[in-house]
Chains A and B, each alone.
Chain A
């Protein structure tokens, strides 16, 4: 599998932006500059970015509560996204959504979801629209491993399959449903096995390898576009940090964490680019620095942005 040079470079940049974004969010949280809760996706950048970049113009995505990498992969405006995390008026959702609800329906970002598994049926409906209006577009539906134990997962896969809807159920299996390890919350190893119950393909990809993620999603999208119905894709990956900021991570060992950090998806792509002569080490360093600067700029923009006026409190409850 090859990825076009320009796409690959953009992918690398966005993955670094995603990493830097999360590091900045962590920093902001520690200083009380960002409030509420947030779910960092450090370690899952290839899974979030390469999957979204495998989509075509007009395709849609619905994101999970751990959705920052995916949002950046989908191509959101970093300034508006950071402003939303800081609850500012010029954020994506006017400061009313925050980390778990970054959305921009017009551009195809159907929104991150604070309800684990809530996005499955929303994606089914969005895919129904694509089929009904014959747009030729597909919907990429993000969720975590834990969400596949929700009833909505099963109802959604079943309906999408019988109606042959163009939706890719994209499960980022990072081995833990909050603190609950996979072997304690389901009696199978591969979530992709669940696809068989609904008569759809179940595919596994290495979520830390951009090439595998990209190719798998492109093939799944092709399947959908040919009218063959949905696909379940399981992306094997790992989150380096806790579930949320209050997580002491007593459920896993430092050894396990180090083992996965050695599979850093960004480092893998970096090494590939240098080895293949796509970029020199210096050029890659410059890209890393640009990504960091982009996030610094986004944070500065957000920090200096106005708070929403209290008069906007009751706006947008009804259309």
Chain B
């Protein structure tokens, strides 16, 4: 085990995979000498050189398209889109090309590419640098979507993503980059399989399903609830597509109550998909309170810090939701 930040864990995962496989390369805007807008790739240019760590122009369409073309012909590119908001410019390459190639070519192509990108609000960067767009990507068959909440998860999931043979959108939370945690880098080949949820806290009264930055808030809320005698279970799917429905359903069958917390704007968010997979399962019969979803408000992210904080779920709101669920039961 080694204590490192979420950002360092991502760098370590990329570097290890590049050392392991000659065909893994990395490209994006300002990722070389500059080290990436969030400092993720500091030092990687020194180790791997310009052939394997490639600075691109500000051209998100061709970054994603070139990654797809390179992946389909034998490389395993990791690409970085500086803010997930900029994925709007890459969407053809991702949605129409990378995601579809295998299927529409009759299974004779594979597109092993990882699209790393920071998502989420909280930095005061306003509406075009703060969105949570994961539901868009989950809606496209052919793409996998990963969103780790801890340094260890970031490390293990990124290694798995680089080895996976599909296009993967790997959403990092920019407010998590500096958070620290124990990472099992010394364990030989520590990999976290995609599509396997992690129960971040065991509990018996209420299930909270959440991912990314909201995991930490749910855990804080669970601590507060525990002081009031309420036992909260926190399930982090870690991978949204494919979604580990079994772990979620099992938890709801145990607690009988479900709260889903996501940072993204509520309408059309992935919270709806998580809830539907519970309510259409046998776990429905175990529910003894209405399912609640705590999501971002349906507004663009505002610049003012007070307004910005008010958009996404806060710890006290999660505590209130827990109490409401328990009182109902």
Contacts and interface: CB of A to CB of B under 8 A. Distances in A.
A115 B25 contact: no
A94 B107 contact: yes
A128 interface: yes
Interface residues of B, number: 45
A310 interface: no
A133 B74 contact: yes
Contacts of A155: 57, 59, 61-62
A105 B61 contact: no
A316 B57 contact: no
Interface string A154-183: 011011001100000000000000000000
B144 A159 contact: no
Nearest to B69: A125
B64 A121 contact: yes
Interface string A99-110: 001011110001
Contact of B73 (A96, A97, A129): A129
A53 interface: no
B61 A152 contact: yes
B152 to A, nearest CB: 25
B108 A123 contact: no
A315 B107 contact: yes
A270 interface: no
Contact of B105 (A105, A152, A162): A105
A126 B144 contact: no
B74 A129 contact: yes
Contacts of A101: 104-105
Contact of B70 (A91, A129, A151): A129
Contact of A132 (B25, B101, B106, B111): B25
A110 B62 contact: no
B160 to A, nearest CB: 14
Given A120-B65, A121-B64, A121-B66, A92 B106 contact: yes
Contact of B69 (A91, A97, A122): A122
B92 interface: yes
A104 B109 CA distance: 8
Given A93-B105, A129-B75, A115 B96 contact: yes
Contact of B106 (A93, A128, A152, A163): A93
B201 interface: no
Contacts of B62: 120-121, 124, 152, 155-156, 158-159
Contact of A96 (B69, B93, B103, B142): B103
Interface in A57-103: 60, 62, 91-97, 101, 103
Given A106-B108, A132-B51, A317-B141, A115 B57 contact: no
Contacts of A127: 69
B243 to A, nearest CB: 14
Contacts of A105: 72-73, 105, 108-109
A122 B69 CA distance: 4
A39 to B, nearest CB: 16
Nearest to A127: B69
Interface string A106-147: 100011011100101111111111101100000000000000
A118 B66 CA distance: 11
B207 interface: no
Contacts of B103: 96, 316-317
A128 B70 contact: yes
Contacts of A1: none
Contact of B68 (A114, A122, A162): A122
Nearest to B65: A121
B204 interface: no
B67 A125 contact: yes
B71 A125 contact: yes
B111 to A, nearest CB: 8
Contacts of A104: 105, 108
A53 to B, nearest CB: 21
B105 A103 contact: yes
Nearest to A91: B106
A123 B25 CA distance: 17
Nearest to A318: B166
Given A103-B109, A156-B62, A319-B165, A118 B70 contact: no
Interface in B165-220: 165-166
Nearest to A121: B65
B110 interface: yes
A126 B71 CA distance: 8
Nearest to B66: A125
Contacts of B73: 60, 105, 110, 125-126, 129-130
A94 B136 CA distance: 28
B74 to A, nearest CB: 5
A192 to B, nearest CB: 21
B96 A118 contact: yes
A163 B63 CA distance: 13
Interface string B45-63: 0000001001011010110
21 contacts: A93-B104, A97-B104, A103-B108, A104-B108, A111-B105, A115-B92, A118-B65, A121-B61, A121-B93, A122-B68, A122-B69, A123-B69, A126-B69, A129-B70, A151-B61, A155-B59, A156-B62, A158-B57, A317-B102, A317-B142, A319-B110
Interface of A: 60, 62, 91-97, 101, 103-106, 110-111, 113-115, 118, 120-130, 132-133, 151-152, 155-156, 158-159, 162-163, 315-319
Closest 7 CB pairs of A and B: A121-B65, A125-B69, A316-B107, A93-B106, A319-B165, A125-B66, A155-B62
Given A104-B108, A113-B97, A118-B97, 13 more contacts: A93-B104, A94-B107, A96-B104, A105-B109, A122-B97, A125-B70, A128-B66, A128-B70, A132-B51, A152-B92, A156-B65, A162-B57, A317-B141
